[in-house]
Every structure is written in C-alpha cells, then in structure tokens.
Amino acid sequence: MDETSTLRGARQSREGGITYFQSLSVAGFAATAISYGPGRMGFGLFVPEFRSAFSMSTSQIGFVSSLGFFGFFLGLLVAQGLLMRRGPQVPVLSGLIAATLGMSVVAVAQNVFVLAVGVFFAASSAGFAWTPFNDAVHRKVRDVDRPRALSEISTGTSVGIAAAGLAALAMVMMGLSWRLCWTGFAVASALALLANHAALRDVERDPNGIPEKGWRELLRSGALPLFVIAFVYGITSAVYISFAADHMLDRGGVPGLPAAATPGLVFVVYGLFGLAGLFTGRVKTAIGLPWLLRFVMLAGALSLALAAILPDSWAGLVPSAGLQGVHVMMTSAVLAVWSERLFPALPSLSFTAALLATAAGSVLGPAIAGVAADAIGTGATFLGVALLPAATAVLLRDRHASDRPLRVPAAMHG
C-alpha cells in the first residue's frame, strides 16, 4: 500500500464513523493492558496465594516464572513470523487466545504443573501484542497521529498492571478468592479478543514484508549495546516482578494496611509510576540517550536495593515499586525508539530482536534468583542482582549509546 492510499484510509471513516486511529488505539490499549498486565505480571502479583495453595518453594516460584517468560520469548518469535506472512490480526488474536486460555487454566489449577502451563500461555500473550500494532499503526495511521496512537497503546501496559493490582487489593479487602480474580482476567481477555477481531480484520499484511537476510543484518557490533541493555533490563525487571511483592509481604508489609494487601499495593504503584514512560521522548531530548540509559539502569538497581533494605516500610515500598515502574516503561520505550533509529530499514524486526534479548534475560533471571534466594535469602539476592544494572550504568560510555543508523546494504532496503 502506498502513502497516498494509507492516508486516504486513515482519513476515511470506517464502520460507524470510527477511524483506524481510533479503532487501533482502543484495540491496542486493550491488548497490551491484558497481555502486559495480568498476562505478564499476574504470576508475580499472586505469588503469595500460589505459594500457599501449592506449597511452592522459592526456587519453584523462580522456575515457573522463568517458564512464563520463556513463553514470552517464544511468542515474540512466532508473532514476527505471523506478522510477515499474515499481517497483524493473526498474531494479536493468537496472543489474546493464549491469554484467555492461560488465565482460565490458572483459575482452575489444582497443582503446580497445571499452574505452570497456565502461566506459560498467559505470559506468552505479551510476545504477540506489541510489534504487530507498531506495524498496523505505521501503515494505517497518518504521520501526525502516529505518536499519539502509539502512546495510547503503550499506556495500556501501565493501566493493565495497575488494574491487576487493584483486583488483588479488592481480593484481600473483600475476601475474594484468587481463582475468581483470574476468572475475571480471562473474561476481560475474551472481551479484548472480540474488540481486536473487529479492529484488525481489515488490516492486511505489509506487501513489502521483511528481507530474508534481515536477522543476519542485526548482528552488528554497533548494535551490541542495545542488546546488552535489553538483556540486563530483562533480568532486573523479571526478578523484581517475580519476587519483590512476595518478599515485602513476607516482611510484614507496610504500617496501616493488612499484610496481605502488599502485593496489590506494589503493582498499583508500579503501574501508576510506569506512566512516566509516556515522557521518555522529552527526557531523551533534554538529557540525551546516554544519560537516559544511565538513569533507567540506576532506577532499576535502586528499586531492587530498596526492596532488600526497606521491604516493610512506606519509604521503601513506594519508591521501590515506583522506580521499577519507571525503569520498565522508560526502558521499553527507549528500546523501541533506539532499535528503529539503528535499523531504519528493519524497524519491527530490530525491535523484536531487542525484545528477544529482554526475554532471554527474563528467562534466566528468575530461575537463578530463585535458587540463590533459597541459599542466601531474597534480600541478599536482590542486592546481588542490583549490581548488574548499576555496573551497566557505570560502565556505559557515550559512544556505546549512539543512535545513528547502522549501515545496511542497499539490497536490504527493497
């Protein structure tokens, strides 16, 4: 589709007077809210309930969490292939089907094995959601409206996390079962599936596709800092998601609230502070990419350190969860922009590659941290993991954070 027809399609009203800008924004918001909210974060949010219901050890929690992030890793790979061959509708709907199935399985799980299967499918949904919407918005929405559409879609992540946290708080305050919460997540996922089916049914695949040698072109030394940052970010965020709320609960929570409300509070704060990701572009313009990268890495390190040192106080919980929300949302926004700047001819593929590096770190982090926590304690493990993003920030040099396009052979641009 050429630019003229794209703009014409963006301006014309669709069924009921709804434009692509409106429909894709709403559908993308719903998809990311489900997949990156309860889908990707739900296991960590409900770890205390799972630990009690299934007598899980910390190492078991780590392995189940890693399995979920492995689902995210596989989802990214499958989604990229489906996007190239079938367009954005198929991967997005596949992800929401996986989310609905996985959340339903978690809701009825009677043992750790079935729980792990449900977590795997629910978390895999996050791998399907992001790049297909970037592709759809790029081709169906006018240039002037694209930043707003992508911002509204990405906001679904923070809102989904906060909403999942509120559901966990309601569970505690109203004496509800965690199984009822996960049933509600599954119903919300099914509704998002219907909305996305309607919004994406007319969005065809990109006729230009992706060059066959695209993956090979990403293996350049100039892109190594991007993938290192993504890998460290994956470890840091996954360890926090998997263990922080349970650790704070185990230390008694914060004064004035029932201890059982701690996980819900952690993820509400996490989601709300994550809205800072919407300002990533302005911060980058103000301080530059190198200092922005140092800031988000130090935010992740300090978040883990506070969870280790002050897990039972408001002065520890709120800054810890808030900094982690900033770390996750700003870093993910940086990866999206940085990857596209380095590889302007391969925007969706380069972003997928960065997310694969993140997913690899997310798979390794919880499994290793779970074993370490059983051996030396969760607090000490947090401090050890915090050294990784802290060292990354200290060792980062300005030349490592260049976002000038890497040269791709002319044949790759076709």
Give the residue extent of every domain in the chain: 1-209, 214-408
Cβ contact 106:122 at 8 Å: yes
Helix (H) or strand (E) holding 364: helix 347-376
pLDDT of residue 211: 56
Q: State whether the Cα torsion 397-69-103-56 is positive or negative.
A: negative
At which residue do the structure tokens 């490592």 appear?
A: 400
Phi-psi category of residue 252: left, alpha or beta, with phi > 0 → left and psi -120 to 50 → alpha: left
Whether 214-408 and 1-209 are alike in CATH topology: the answer is: yes
Alpha helix (H) residue ranges in 176-276: 178-200, 214-217, 224-250, 262-274
**CATH match for 214-408 among 3.40.50.920, 3.40.50.300, 3.90.79.10, 1.20.1250.20:** 1.20.1250.20
pLDDT of residue 9: 45
Cβ contact 307:251 at 8 Å: no
Of residues 201, 166, 181, 233, the one with CA closest to residue 89: 201
Structure tokens belonging to residue 186: 């599954």
For the chain, residues with pLDDT lower than 50 are: 1-17, 409-414
- Around 300, how many Cα atoms within 13 Å sit in the side-chain half-sphere? 34
pLDDT of residue 7: 44
pLDDT of residue 207: 64
- End-to-end CA distance of the chain, in Å? 14
CATH no. for 1-209 = 1.20.1250.20
pLDDT of residue 413: 42
- What CA–CA distance (Å, rounded) separates 90 from 236? 31
Which pTM value belongs to this model? 0.88
